[in-house]
């Protein structure tokens, strides 16, 4: 499995820890930045870059900012991204099982690091159920995105 990770300055430390944990588990991780702490950087550039890579390579991504909300808004502007902001493991499981989410958005400020690590574990290891009702819903989202491009 290939996972892209990215974060702004507020998510930088958490990104580094997540990257290390995933690599230790044998996951192929590609870091899209930030590569150093810079309190002047903006989450938008990282979220959009990650979203584009996830869609192009049919991979998964994890993107982090302080609240998780900013990266969630930004990454979901990329057609084909199904990004979810998760603050607990049940959300992470359901987002994969029901929605086939391909981007996990995390808050470094409002969710404990240990909980974020559990969320990542569930998100990475959960699979899409492929139930007809879930496929139908995702198809409707994809159809809407296609109409916007036309």
Q: Per-residue pLDDT tens for 119-147? A: 999 999 999 999 999 999 999 999 998 88
pLDDT digits 0-9 by tens, 65-117: 999 999 999 999 999 999 999 999 999 999 999 999 999 999 999 999 999 99
Domain ranges of the chain: 2-149
Q: Report pLDDT for 147.
A: 87
CATH number of 2-149: 3.40.1400.10
Closest to 109 measured CA to CA, from 41, 9, 4, 10: 10
Band (pLDDT 50/70/90 cuts) for residue 1 is confident
Q: Which residues of 17-36 are buried (b: 16+ CB within 10 A; e: fewer)?
A: ebbeebeeeeeebeebbbee
Residue 148 has pLDDT above 90, yes or no: no
Which of 17, 90, 105 has its CA nearest to residue 60? 105
Which pLDDT tens digit goes with each residue over 24-36?
999 999 999 999 9
Q: Write the DSSP assignment of 34-57 as a string of letters.
A: --S--TT--HHHHHHHHHHHHHHH
HSE at residue 28, side-chain half, CA atoms within 13 A, is 5
Considering the chain, what is the average pLDDT of its residues? 96
């Amino acid at each position: 499995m290939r996972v892209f990770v990215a974060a702004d300055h507020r998510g930088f430390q958490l990104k580094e820890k997540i990257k290390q944990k995933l690599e230790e588990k044998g996951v192929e991780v590609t870091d899209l930045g930030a590569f150093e702490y810079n309190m002047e950087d903006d989450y938008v550039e990282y979220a959009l870059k990650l979203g584009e890579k996830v869609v192009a390579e049919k991979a998964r991504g994890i993107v982090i900012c302080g609240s998780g909300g900013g990266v969630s808004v930004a990454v979901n502007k990329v057609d084909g991204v199904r990004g979810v902001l998760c603050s607990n493991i049940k959300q992470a499981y359901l987002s994969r099982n029901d929605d086939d989410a391909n981007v996990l958005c995390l808050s470094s400020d409002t969710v404990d690091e240990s909980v974020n690590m559990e969320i990542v574990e569930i998100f990475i290891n959960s699979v899409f159920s492929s139930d007809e009702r879930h496929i139908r819903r995702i198809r409707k989202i994809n159809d809407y995105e296609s109409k916007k491009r036309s």
